[in-house]
Structure 1
């Protein structure tokens, strides 16, 4: 049911107009706004209504009040904050710590104030460090300044029992980093859990960071763990929203672990069909008519039952399939060729989200090894006649084009073979998964 909107109050429309001027750049960073009297005259209203509109923008953090000078657009020159830099290696004796170096490179003046205390931890810190009631922590409380403005706080908490009598308890900067000191103490951190919350600041946070009204903060909590899963450090970073851009760099891993290959089981039938359909759809989107027909389900079921159909998994997720057998297709291979010991590749399909990682090369190498183990001389396949890109793919992987066969009712027929002992060695090594996980 539609709900009729009410006309916005005049003070809200005043705020709306100034907000647009700020966001569109008509009023730039640090610009002085018209006075309360000037705004009241422009809108033919009272000064108190103008003040009410300006307070909306103050509370939103867009402008600041600097009496008696007036109202100004809040200056924003955000610092780029990169949580993923936690474990990057640093020189053992850098001239400046990472924060100071970053700011110097940007042409900004940076400084920091550090104090160290031994305290009873908050419940959140105690739970993250798995401490018992009564255990104390050493906390290194740091306020970082940029161009004279407190930009963020960084409070690192350590179990007191782990850092007693170490540099952690000194209120000086640790040039090589607290993580290195922890490693030297036998608590090397190899994993971190990052949590990010966005909220309004507490009174203590607003005081330490000199925050005006309407400024939210992002709170980044990082818990560091040793190889045996012991939490040894909790860092609480408080980042004012008007002073930071949080930047994460992510890269897609090659594979979660070494991909595995296993014989398809009866209940894998739908997985094989889905992989085939996925590949057919990808080909269709590129104007290639290969496999543009329903999958031959009975043949797939027969291949599975005969142990000829295989599935490749990445972290347990099926990402590719290949079928191999020793039966020469009479439409393509001569009786003399069929008499030669060979293994034949069929229905090789790879999910496109793992494309470009040479998984197809890895499956062909695996098939070559299977052929060698079975005493075969050749690894062979027939390719779709109209897929020139696929022909080049096989040629680049050591296959020789034997000939192209025109068989009635068959769209395939470009014949390739390579020596069974030819292994290209490019792509991931497939680990054979023994047994049936189903």
Structure 2
């Protein structure tokens, strides 16, 4: 790989070459590197320069020095560390704790050393636990070993007043977990704040974990809170970088609560315009020419004033909009069809970050229910002619393609309808905002 700027020093180029051999597998875990003298001869340089290059790799944690035997590629068999697994339910009386069980399932030999102390907390722990001056904590200090190697430390701090006399004070494994004990003591934790920092270890950490030079650590600090917001536990996990892979599993959240739907008001004009623009941008990125023109604000204002424009909110944040009226567009619907009682859907937009949760289906059901309540026969709409995916979307939701109309100056005209009483019942329930009966 070419490096711009000033030419790299020879010792750096030596390190670069060996690093490539390690990362590409030419030198595997445990492989012995050429001696300092052999490297010096290969590169026509001094032994001192060769040592400089090797020290770069030692400091990066890629190799270890085992004098007088030489330099070896560091063997790595990372443990997968899953912070999100803490609140997963476990049996009340498992044979082994979660860590030991995980290692056994991977065919590795695991053990741990636990000690319990009563201490004056550090400033950071005291601040996180919101303790006053002079208040003490109980700390369960744990070193976890895998295949005889100390893999990480886990130090759990609890307000002494909360855990005095409980199992937490015993230097033994708590098979059902300290969190269960805390819940039994009246301190059930319902949420946790995770902080992760990466740095070089302190001398104490390096000693407890038997770390060689150049090994950074990730520090995961977890503060657990009760339902009333009281912090009752601070855990500091120190994870050597050469022994761990931190894995987070994230699930896209559903709506924070049942989404609410309300009639738009005058001040919502920009909200509707922004939602419309969001959809237009998304369509443009997919090379669909729908809505690629400035929003027609005057028409939106008229819809708002007439009580025809609606907004869906999730925890107070606008996430969708729909407009429904009973006026058939004469460019598309015949006089006979216009005479039939129907509601017409316009400008339905769902924000993409809440996509995949069938909010659009819920909006169409809401419109169907509204049409049925008003004694209408049909729920109708006209779709953009060039958006085949949208046509399929409506077909899959019970709409029948009536026909496609070619009207001068109009890019829409694919007409759909479904019976007003057709409701799929899929998607979140939309709750009418309290006091909005329109």
Distance 1:39 1:386 in 2: 66
Aligned-partner Cα distance in 2 for 1:46–1:332: 86
| 1:197 aligned partner | 197
Change (3 A) 1:63 1:391: closer
Q: Which residue of 2 aligns with 1:391?
A: 391
3-state DSSP class of the match of 1:190?
A: strand
- Give matches, 1:241-280, under 5 Å: 241-280=241-280
Q: For residues 44-193 of structure 1, what are the structure 2 equivalents within 5 Å?
A: 44-193=44-193
What's the counterpart of residue 233 of structure 1? 233
Give distance in 2, aligned partners of 1:335 and 1:300.
25
Deviation at residue 272 of structure 1 after TM alignment: 2.0
Which residue of structure 2 aligns with residue 41 of structure 1? 41
* 2:132 aligned counterpart, secondary structure: coil
Query: Alpha carbons of 1:170 and 1:407: their partners in 2 closer, same or farther (altered >3 Å)?
Result: same
**1:82 Cα shift?**
0.6
Partner in structure 2 of residue 415 of structure 1 = 415
Runs of at least 5 residues in structure 2 that lack an aligned partner in the other structure: none
TM-score norm. by structure 1 comes to: 0.91
Q: Quote the residue 2:342 is aligned against.
A: 342
Shift of 1:146: 0.6
Alpha carbons of structure 1 residues 285 and 206: separation in structure 2 relative to 1, 3 Å: closer
| Secondary structure in 1 matching 2:118 | strand
Aligned to 2:357: 357
Question: Any idea what SS the aligned residue of 2:189 has?
Answer: coil
Pairs within 5 Å for 1:292-303: 292-303=292-303
In the TM superposition, residue 356 of structure 1 has moved relative to its aligned partner by 2.4
1:388 shift after superposition: 4.2
Task: Pick closer, same or farther for the CA change 1:39–1:329 going to 2, 3 Å.
Answer: closer
Shift of 1:174: 0.7
For residue 359 of structure 1, report the CA deviation from its aligned partner.
Answer: 1.2
Distance 1:337 1:269 in 2: 31
Structure 1: how far apart are the matches of 2:48 and 2:248?
Answer: 44
Which secondary structure state, in structure 2, belongs to the residue aligned with residue 252 of structure 1?
coil
Deviations 1:27-63 (A, max 9, x none): 2111111122222222333333332332222222221
2:379 counterpart of 1:379: yes
Establish whether residue 212 from structure 1 lines up as the match of residue 206 from structure 2. Answer: no
Q: Which moved more, 1:247-256 or 1:261-270?
A: 261-270
Q: Distance in 2 between matches of 1:65 and 1:385?
A: 70
| Distance change >3 Å, CA 327–CA 57, structure 1 → 2 | same
Query: Displacement of 1:346 after TM fit?
Result: 1.2
Q: What is the distance in 2 between the residues matched to 1:210 and 1:173?
A: 23
Alpha-carbon RMSD across the aligned residues, in angstroms, is 2.3
- In the other structure, the counterpart of 2:318 is 318
CA distance, structure 1, for counterparts of residue 152 and residue 72 of structure 2: 23
Unaligned 5+ residue runs, structure 1? none
Distance 2:20 2:404 in 1: 67
Deviations 1:268-289 (A, max 9, x none): 3233233333333444554544
Question: Structure 1 residues 397 and 6, CA, compared in 2 at 3 Å: closer, same or farther?
Answer: closer
Partner residue, 2:331: 331
Deviation digits for residues 40-91 of structure 1, max 9, x if unmatched? 2223333333323322222222211111211111111111111111101111
SS of the aligned residue for 1:368 comes to helix
How far did 1:326 drift?
A: 1.9
* Cα-to-partner distance string for 1:187-243 (whole Å, 9 max, x where unaligned): 111100000011111111111000111111110000011111111111000001111
Distance 2:395 2:47 in 1: 81
In structure 2, distance between residues paired with 1:379 and 1:242:
61
When structure 1 is superposed on structure 2, of 146-155 and 29-38 the one drifting more is: 29-38
Q: Distance in 2 between the 1:37 and 1:384 partners? A: 75
1:375-408: per-residue Cα shift (whole Å, max 9, x none)? Answer: 4343222333454443333333233444444544
Aligned length: 433
Change (3 A) 1:385 1:34: closer
Normalised to the residue count of structure 2, the TM-score between the two structures is: 0.91
Change (3 A) 1:169 1:380: same
Distance 1:64 1:261 in 2: 63
Farther off after superposition, 95-104 or 203-212: 95-104
Cα distance in 2 between the residues matched to 1:272 and 1:8: 57
Q: Name the SS of the counterpart of 2:89 in structure 1.
A: coil
Instruction: Report the more deviating stretch, 159-168 or 325-334.
Output: 325-334
